[in-house]
Amino acid sequence: MSSSCFRVICLLHSCIDVVLGALIRFYFSDIAVFSVGRETASKLLGSTPHDQLLIKTSEALVGACYVFIGILLFMVAFVKDRDFQSFLQKDVY
């Protein structure tokens, strides 16, 4: 029972992380415009070209980290070792 719950939770988090990472990586400016408006989004995305480059680089790295964590969780979901699963879900039960 706990093994299947562990797998479902890991797969759910994996999907969320991969989707969120892809959205941050490729559509962050669109999400910013949608959430806070065009004027505020333009202020958040930097005023000089150097600031804009730094912000876009950090967004790309954060998105890539989310995708990497999602892939890692996907692999962890299929580990059959009970000791490893109990180590990761120690605080849940």
Q: Which residue has the tokens 């039960």?
A: 93
Write out the two tokens for 22.
Answer: 């892809």
State if pTM tops 0.85: no
The more confidently predicted of residues 93 and 28 is 28
pLDDT in tens, 6-61: 888 889 999 999 999 999 888 888 888 888 888 888 888 888 899 889 988 998 89
- Any idea how long the chain is? 93
Write down the pLDDT at residue 91: 60
Per-residue pLDDT band at 1 (split at 50, 70, 90): low
Residue 90 has pLDDT above 80, yes or no: no
The more confidently predicted of residues 88 and 57 is 57
Based on its alpha-carbon atoms, the radius of gyration of the chain, rounded to whole angstroms, reads 18
Q: Which of 27, 29, 25 is nearest to 37 (CA)?
A: 29
Write down the pLDDT at residue 20: 92
